[in-house]
Structures are given as structure tokens and as C-alpha cells.
């Protein structure tokens, strides 16, 4: 079974915002080199979610976990993204596609906050 992770952010008209997700994907790839790691934007930019699912399947994945790269839950993570994923998944009945929760509250994110704050607090 080949696994894939599809990182999905909101999508932006600003290229820099969309590029951040590519950088995140590259870091994820380094951590799980045995998995396919692809990206998609929910809206406003390409690749869209259907194209992202296509890329995962095209790379041989038979199990895909879609990760909404959002700070917290909301309509996008609970409704919009699942609907777009379901629509794409219908084309691949043999592929197991799950959706993870967004980042949410996590001790490690609190550590990142404190690191950013400390760096800014230095005189």
C-alpha cells in the first residue's frame, strides 16, 4: 500500500502565500520520504483539490490522508474541504481517502509562539 499526504490550505491570490505551502510540503517530504506528499489550494489558486488527489493517485497512492493546513476548525475544514474531497474521491473508488483535523491547539504550536515572541523581545 502506497500512502500519500495531501496538504490543503485556503489558497490566496498572493503567490508568496501559496508558496509557503510548497515549503511546508518539502519539510513533510523530508520527514516521510516513503510517502507521496502533494499540495492543493481550497480556492483562488491552482492546483485545486481534485488536481491534488489526481497527483497522489497518479504517483501510485492507494491511501491518501488530506490535511487541512488551517489553524483551527471552521466551515472550510468541516464543510468545504470535505465536499471537494468527496467529489474528487468519487472518481477513485479503489483509493482510501481520509481527512485529518486541522492543526488545532497543540503544545508544539505554543512552543513556536514562544520562540517567535522571544526573538522579537530581544533588545
> Least distance in Å: CB of 12 to its own copies?
7
3-state secondary structure of 67: strand
Residues that bind its own copies (CB under 8 A): 3, 5, 7, 9, 12, 14, 16-17, 20, 23-24, 27-28, 31-32, 63, 65, 67, 69-74, 98-117, 119-121
Q: How far is the CB of 27 from its own copies (least distance, A)?
A: 5
Query: What's the min distance (Å) between Cβ of 55 and its own copies?
Result: 17
- The C-alpha R_g of the chain, in whole angstroms, comes to 16
Q: Is residue 17 helix, strand or coil? A: helix
Return the number of the residue (5 or 89) whose C-beta is nearest its own copies: 5
Find cell 502565500 and name the residue: 17
**Alpha carbon 97 to chain centroid distance?**
13
Amino acid at each position: 500500500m502506497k500512502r500519500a499526504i495531501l496538504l490543503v490550505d485556503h489558497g490566496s491570490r498572493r503567490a508568496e502565500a501559496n508558496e509557503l505551502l510548497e515549503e511546508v510540503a518539502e519539510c513533510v517530504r523530508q520527514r516521510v520520504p516513503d510517502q507521496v506528499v502533494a499540495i492543493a489550494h481550497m480556492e483562488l489558486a491552482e492546483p485545486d483539490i481534485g488536481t491534488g488527489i489526481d497527483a497522489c493517485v497518479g504517483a501510485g497512492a492507494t491511501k491518501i490522508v488530506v490535511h487541512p493546513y488551517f489553524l483551527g476548525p471552521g466551515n472550510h475544514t468541516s464543510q468545504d474541504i470535505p465536499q471537494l474531497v468527496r467529489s474528487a474521491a468519487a472518481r477513485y473508488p479503489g483509493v482510501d481517502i481520509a481527512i485529518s483535523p486541522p492543526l488545532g491547539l497543540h503544545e508544539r504550536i505554543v512552543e513556536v509562539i514562544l520562540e517567535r515572541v522571544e526573538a522579537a523581545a530581544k533588545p
